Amino acid sequence: MVEVRFFAGAADAAGHPSTRLEVADGTSVGEVLAAVAAGNERLTRVLGVCTLLLDGRAHGDRATPLDGGEHTIDVLPPFAGG
């Protein structure tokens, strides 16, 4: 089971703060993101510029395969301010 949590503008684009889905062993992080963004062009665009955390750690490789365990992907859009 993978939980994808959206923050700030990513949550706005997704229309909800999180979603959970069952994925097969070996499904990549990128495939999970494509599945949650299917049919949502705005979310697809936002995902292209977001930082990802996989199980609480910064993660940039969307090709990383997931095992069958529990995982959390946090989607963090760019932040501005000072």
Rounded distance between C-alpha atoms, residue 20 and residue 72, angstroms: 9
- Of the candidates 65, 62, 8, the one whose C-alpha atom is nearest the C-alpha of residue 33 is 62
pTM over 0.75: yes
Q: Which of 16, 1, 23, 24 is nearest to 75 (CA)?
A: 16
Average pLDDT along the chain, 82 residues, taken 10 residues at a time: 97 97 96 98 96 96 93 91 59
What's CA 31's distance to the chain center, in Å?
A: 10
CA distance 14 to 4: 11
Q: Classify residue 29 as left (phi > 0), alpha (psi -120 to 50) or beta.
A: alpha
Of the candidates 20, 71, 75, 27, the one whose C-alpha atom is nearest the C-alpha of residue 47 is 75
Q: How high is the pLDDT of residue 31?
A: 98
Domain 2-76: CATH class, spelled out = alpha beta
